[in-house]
Chain A
Amino acid sequence: MIDTPTAPLDDVGGPAQPLLSVRGLTKHFPLKGQLLGGSAGVVRAVDDVDFTVRKGETLGVVGESGCGKSTTARLLMHLIAADTGEIVFDGCVVGSRQLPWKAFRRQVQMVFQDSYSSLNPRLTIEDSIAFAPQVHGVARREAVERARDLLTRVGLEPRRFAERYPHELSGGQRQRVNIARALALQPRLIILDEAVSALDKSVEAQVLNLLLDLKDAFGLTYVFISHDLHVVRYISDRVMVMYLGQVAELGPVEAIFDAPRHPYTQALLASMPTMDPDRRTEEAPLAGDPPNPINPPPGCRFHTRCPHAEAVCKLKAPRVQAGSSSAHAVACLMHEPGSGHGRAARGDTPAMAQAAE
């Protein structure tokens, strides 16, 4: 760290070791209570979430508002502290002596949705990009030189743009600056929290192309959070579907989009507007809004809206079940052998659960 402030970081555990594994990540926000500190309850924003991100992949995270996808991103960056849970980055526990938070943050950077409020309005974009490397001990001249190089990489000509302030740029250009800033520390993982959601479609396509190019050029790994299922399908290798602070389903992008197993994922996909004027949607897959994450429903959190819900779903919380291939996991009692759900296999062999589908 001290001798070579921002040299590219080495791969520690080899390609087979996940870049990031998250175990039991939980964050409950207490609601403002009564006068004497009595608590009015908690928002269960993220509740016991497990997942891994493999080296070089793009993990898409989808879900509706209140499902905890942005909170998960902020917990990963330690922008807010988790209640419980462990984050392991390339074999090292984050926050331990081996990998303190500051060292971790050099390897993981984030791009936010609002390109304007995430830049300092009083710094030129060149200074914004050069800021973090200087914090980590790079000389100013070198940092500025690198910033100009990065501006070129993201398609903004330094001679025209380096001296500008954020308000002098368009939304797409500002988001390019944010991406360049995220790259300035040569990180290995970039978390993109709705990074293209605020952009117009034509600009969104440009930024998505840029993200793909940079991923190849710098060997990056992405966690791509979005509510836009089309974009997630396009950019992700694996997809995690969240519902009310928990993981509903996690698997390869083809499996999630072509053969979704969780009733929520099925409904979410069926809710996408069609592009075929002759096959318009005739019936909404789900009624009502997602429930409030304050006091979420007991048992399976989706049972209040689920078309297949039975009495047992109200009582018993499903555990995440690995399916036929261990890569495709689903948290639903229908896929949990012996759970008591009418559609679940009665025995304990996963093979029977598969056959019952």
Chain B
Amino acid sequence: MDSLAAAPMSAATEPLVALRDLHVSFTGGRAPVQAVNGVDLEVARGDTVALIGESGSGKSVTLRSLLRLHPAQRTQMRGEIRVAGLDVLGLSARQLADYRGKVASMIFQEPLLALDPVYSVGQQIVESIRRHEPVSAAAARARALQLFERVRIPSAARRLDAYPHEMSGGMRQRAMIALALACRPQLLLADEPTTALDATVQIQILLLLRELQREMGLSIIFVTHDIGAAVEVADRIAVMYAGRIVESGPARTLIRAPRHPYTLALLKGRAHGHLARGARLQTIQGSPPDLAALPPGCAFAERCAFAQDACRATQPPAVTLAADHLARCLRTEATAVAVVDPAPCQG
């Protein structure tokens, strides 16, 4: 922690996370893959932001950049990442190790792959606590037990000695949340944490995350492709397409009055409860662009019903539609009249 102590104490009003013009590209293939192309994102303390998008939209790459998990040799990163006053891209290897787990921590989609199979879950939590804090093994274990009870793992004392493969899917995900929270981080990064779970377990984990967020004052960045899961946990939603945030705003605004054509199409194309059976779904034609050969203009223009020539020429700037509601689109006046679905679609 000493190496992090130099970081300036940030004021309470300053956002916990600030990404400025983040670019991430991967080299090594024939052409560099431009996975993230200028992401600006702020997350206030105690706020939950959901990043939604399809595969290849750059949502997971953005999230992993926050912990600098990409292989350094094949990754080029530009821009600025500030978390709790720290310049993440400028951290040394030693500082980075102090930062991971202590300031920001991550839970993954597949806990069986993310947890170490040869140590019991309790040992892994104890190791993480003792890496960051000068406490005895017994004290660390007592805290691990508290964490297990906190994430509501039944017969917690016994489960601490269980290996990951001995647990069920939902229990493993709870164990991974306990591990991520072991050193009381301020920021929790969640990469599709409920995608691999069954429906009845998914809602339990979503509610647990919401509860922990409230009680511990965590900030959460939650990556998902499931709009429903995003609505359940997030205060704000940011929609990504081809490595850019194309629209962001409060969850309520984004669901009820989306203004970017891509968000509109995503919400319209869902099979949901109020749709007449047999009625055709409205689809987005074509497929997402090749990240190794992005067009100069709006990456969605090719599939967009509202696109004009100007859309293909230049990158549309972010338009402020309301306080905290942004869309990167030249045609927001045309989308204002397009209504999504008047009925709130429960089920």
Contact = CB atoms under 8 A, between A and B. Distances in A.
Interface of A: 64-65, 170, 172-173, 200-206, 208-209, 212, 227-231, 233-237, 253, 257, 267-269, 271-290, 292
Contact of B207 (A173, A233, A284): A284
Nearest to B278: A212
Given A275-B227, A277-B231, A283-B207, A267 B200 contact: yes
B198 interface: yes
Per DSSP, chain A at the interface is: loop
A202 B269 contact: yes
B148 to A, nearest CB: 15
A229 B232 contact: no
A290 B200 CA distance: 9
A201 B266 contact: yes
Given A202-B266, A203-B287, A273-B228, A253 B347 contact: no
Nearest to A269: B347
Given A170-B287, A235-B277, A273 B204 contact: no
A208 B277 CA distance: 12
Contact of B198 (A65, A275, A283): A65
Nearest to A198: B55
Nearest to A292: B168
A284 to B, nearest CB: 4
Nearest to B341: A275
A290 B284 CA distance: 36
Interface string B15-35: 000000000000000000000
Contacts of A227: 198-199
Contacts of A233: 271, 273, 277
Nearest to A236: B277
Contacts of A287: 204
A209 B283 contact: yes
Interface string B254-281: 0110000000011001111101011011
A200 B251 contact: no
23 contacts: A64-B200, A65-B198, A173-B287, A200-B54, A201-B54, A202-B283, A203-B54, A208-B271, A230-B270, A230-B271, A233-B271, A234-B271, A234-B272, A234-B281, A268-B200, A272-B347, A273-B226, A274-B231, A275-B227, A276-B344, A276-B346, A277-B231, A278-B252
Interface centre among B170, B199, B272, B280 (most CB of A within 10 A): B199
Contacts of B275: 234
B154 interface: yes
A209 B200 contact: no
Contact of B232 (A204, A205, A280): A280
B284 to A, nearest CB: 4
A267 B200 CA distance: 7
B283 A205 contact: yes
A201 B346 CA distance: 18
Contacts of B285: 206
Given A275-B346, A277-B251, 15 more contacts: A200-B55, A202-B54, A202-B283, A205-B269, A206-B285, A230-B273, A267-B200, A268-B199, A271-B203, A272-B347, A273-B203, A273-B226, A275-B344, A285-B203, A289-B168
Given A64-B200, A275-B228, A289 B171 contact: yes
Contacts of B54: 200-203
